[in-house]
Amino acid sequence: MKIDDVNQTSTVLVKSYNSMEPSEYSSLLSKAAVDHDLCIEVLDKYGRSIYSKDVIGDCMLHGRENSMYAYLQRILSSDNGEIYYKIKNPHSGYDMLLYGSVIGDFDNPDGYLLMNSELVPVGSTVSIIKKQLKVITFMLMIIAFMISLYVSSVIAKPITAITKDAKTLANGDFKTKFEGKGYLEVKQLADTLNYAEMELSKVDTMQRDLIANTSHDLRTPLTMLKAYAEMIRDLSGDNPKKRAEHLEIIINETDRLALLVNDILDLSKLESGKQNISCTKFDIRSKMNEIINRYKGISEQMGYHIHFTPDADRIVYCDIVKIEQVICNLINNAINYTGADKQVYVRQINKSDGVIIEIEDTGDGIEADKIKLIFDKYYRSENHKREVVGTGLGLSIVKAILKLHGFDYGVRSVLGKGSVFWFKINDNLVTNETDAK
Ligand code: ADP
């Protein structure tokens, strides 16, 4: 480091020798000498001292050991006009670094620069620094420990809190509130967990509703079955007319029960992914006619009118049984939910790439925020009445079948005016061989 110091200072001084005013140069030299603990001597080309600065006192240039001219001789006899020496000062006993160089051209010098730097023994300094280092290390360790305590509390505390909340959520408490205090990631995690909780609680209440609804729907026909069976046993057993009436009720209730159980089975089969579709080619127009005719008898008896607007004959390729189920479920819903005028409109609309089937009713319509929910298997509107035959699973079955086919579907609804349920039988049904089986 000393050699580097000396080198840098000498470069500056040699360079500035010719370009600076003598007074300016003198102060530059004094400053360099004081800053770097150097004794500096500048001689002119005749070897006369023109600038001199003595900082060390007992140096090899100015002190008792002054041998400036001997060094000058050595510079002149050196190869490149530069000399370095490490000499022991016989008085102080310290090592001295002596540097000398030519100013300007070696063959025709402008002057000479001589510098003396003291190489102070470093042993004591090192031991002082070692002690300081121990103290500093100790302090730094304490500071680092405190910082890490702080940082870990900032990072870990909110996560610990969230973990605790997550445990209460896992125990089924859907009122847990996740607080995302601290930093962005924790906030995002808390938001995600709050969202998951919201969805879970929705599913939970829907599931509970479904069980409540289904068990209600199961219990009612069962109660009826029991009541009428008892009635036949105790009262009408001998009266053929009454008995037939009561038996009719028993049969109807059994049908209703079968319908519900079938729906539950259908949906669970469809959703388990075990059911494949078996596609065939058929004419959709005549199939629709057939379905509507089947409804005519029942619906007209109860005052409903189903208007069918067919389009041209069109051969489609899909699972005929399942698509029929979709159409029937939608017509059933339309009948159940249509307005007081009891009108239902069914349309076949041929398109270049498929056939759209629309089923329209004139009922109350469905609120925009409910439309997303009605295809959920647990969803049933609050105003669901028992007179309305249905299991709350109809639309979920529709959705599952249409998804299995990859068909688009949807609802357009105007509150107070009615709803249009539609789906589109695509021409290019995306299915593979195993599905087709
Ligand atoms: P369900 O009719 O047995 O309740 P669905 O799955 O068929 O079960 O229908 C789910 C819900 O969607 C119904 O409870 C009802 O609120 C709503 N919905 C279905 N079809 C219609 C319709 N045509 N008009 C109004 N609301 C309907």
To test ligand 1's pocket by mutation, which of 333, 396, 414 has the most ligand atoms within 8 angstroms of CB? 333
Residue 31, pLDDT > 80, answer yes
Range 164-176 average pLDDT: 86
CA distance 290 to 429: 23
What is the percent of the chain with per-residue pLDDT over 90, rounded to a whole number? Answer: 26
CA distance 215 to 176: 30
Q: What number does the ligand 1 atom closest to the CA of 361 have?
A: 23
Determine contact, residues 430/318, Cβ cutoff 8 Å.
no
Lowest mean pLDDT among 92-106, 167-181, 202-216, 221-235: 202-216
CA distance 21 to 35: 21
CA distance 411 to 408: 11
Lowest mean pLDDT among 90-94, 138-142, 421-425: 90-94
First to last CA, the chain: 88
Give the global pTM: 0.51
Range 111-118 average pLDDT: 90
- pLDDT of 430 reads 53
Lowest mean pLDDT among 102-111, 292-301, 415-424: 292-301
pLDDT class for 387, splitting at 50, 70, 90?
very low
pLDDT digits 0-9 by tens, 270-313: 776 667 788 899 999 999 999 998 887 777 778 888 999 999 99
Determine contact, residues 423/399, Cβ cutoff 8 Å.
no
- pLDDT of 386 reads 42
Residue 266, pLDDT > 60, answer yes
Distance between Cα 380 and ligand 1 center (Å): 7
CA distance 60 to 44: 19
Range 210-219 average pLDDT: 72
Which residue's alpha carbon is at the smallest distance from atom 15 of ligand 1?
381
Pocket of ligand 1 (CB under 6 A): 333-334, 336-337, 361, 363, 366, 374, 379-381, 384, 390-396, 419
Q: What number does the ligand 1 atom closest to the CA of 389 have?
A: 3
CA distance 91 to 94: 8
40: its two tokens = 């500096």
68: its two tokens = 């400036």
- pLDDT of 390 reads 61
CA distance 418 to 413: 6
Distance between Cα 394 and ligand 1 center (Å): 8
pLDDT digits 0-9 by tens, 43-86: 988 888 899 888 877 788 887 777 788 888 888 898 888 898 88
CA distance 32 to 160: 61
Distance between Cα 384 and ligand 1 center (Å): 8
Q: How far is CA 167 from the centre of its chain?
A: 22
- How many H helices and E strands in the chain? 11, 12
Residue (of 266, 273, 235, 240) closest to 329 by Cα position: 266
Residue 208, pLDDT > 50, answer yes
Range 358-379 average pLDDT: 84
pLDDT digits 0-9 by tens, 309-368: 999 999 999 988 889 989 998 998 898 888 888 899 999 999 998 999 999 999 888 888
